[in-house]
Amino acid sequence: MKILAPLYMAALYAFIFLPVIVLVVFSFQDGRLPVPPLKGVTLKWYADVLSDRALLSALWNSLLVAIVSSAIALTLGFLAAVALARTILPGSALIRGLLIAPMTVSYLIIALGLMNLWRDLGLSVSLWATGIGHVVINLPLCFAILYAAMGDQQRSAERAARDLGASEPRVLWHVTAPMLLPSLLAAFFLSVTFSWDEFIIAFLLTRFDVTLPVEIWSLLKSGLSPKTNAVGALVFLVSVAAVIILELTVFRKRRA
């Protein structure tokens, strides 16, 4: 029985990481198609990616939209969570339900609704419209994470700070936010991840300034290529580097 646990973990990790390993391996394929057998090793696809202005522009657009929309969603979600956790309002349960409701709605429905709204307002689709759409889908996530993390410990510390004369903004900035820092970081980086990978809203609400998933989709229309593998490998490398940096700085310091 003792051998079953290691075998199960090995199978689990293989199931999770095998697609990524295949993607990275065939990003070095010295051929036109990223399929077996591996004909040789080359870095020309990475050179093509780094010299492709459209891809780099899409990468920058994705990074900009992900960070800005996640920061806005986190701020709004934090304020909403504090208000609903610390104040008894008529219909609080209904308000919480309405805030979380977008998590149960298809991204396609949200994208179509926003596109029609933009058309009715006489506005053209753009990268900013995509950012607003990502705020819509990420705000419920941030709210749910932060609302669940608020407990009596934060309430007592906030009450003590008010008794000592701290204003409400100072209580939020110096007491509530630091005590919720792990949850704030979790909500922010999950939002960044969802925004970074999101395709449907970005596809319907952008025209010229597209995000990386939309640009990759455009590349895939012309068929499979090791170049798309190289893009995925670079994105995976950046994600792993970000996780390692956070683990070595923020989270390790927090545990200490």
Q: List pLDDT tens digits, range 98-127.
A: 888 888 888 888 888 888 888 888 878 888
In angstroms, the CA 256 to CA 248 distance is: 11
Model pTM score: 0.82
Classify domain 54-223 by CATH number: 1.10.3720.10
Mean pLDDT for the chain?
82
What CA–CA distances, in Å, run from 148 to 97, 101, 138, 177, 234?
14, 16, 16, 14, 34
Answer for the pair 206, 127: CB distance below 8 angstroms, yes or no. yes
Residue 134 pLDDT exceeds 90: yes
What pLDDT is recorded for position 250? 59
Residue 29, phi then psi, degrees to nearest 5: -60, 125
Answer for the pair 200, 112: CB distance below 8 angstroms, yes or no. no
Which of 61-75, 167-181, 213-227, 234-248 is modeled with the greatest confidence? Answer: 61-75
Q: Which residues of 201-223 are buried (b: 16+ CB within 10 A; e: fewer)?
A: bbbbbbeebbbbbbbbeebeeee
Range(s) of the chain covered by CATH 1.10.3720.10: 54-223
The proportion of the chain whose per-residue pLDDT surpasses 70, expressed as a percent, equals 91
In angstroms, the CA 126 to CA 28 distance is: 35
Higher-confidence residue: 60 or 229?
60
* 8 residue type, one letter: Y
Note the residue count of the chain. Answer: 256
Question: How confident is the model over 197-233, as pLDDT tens digits?
Answer: 888 898 888 877 888 888 888 877 776 677 788 888 8
In angstroms, the CA 201 to CA 211 distance is: 10
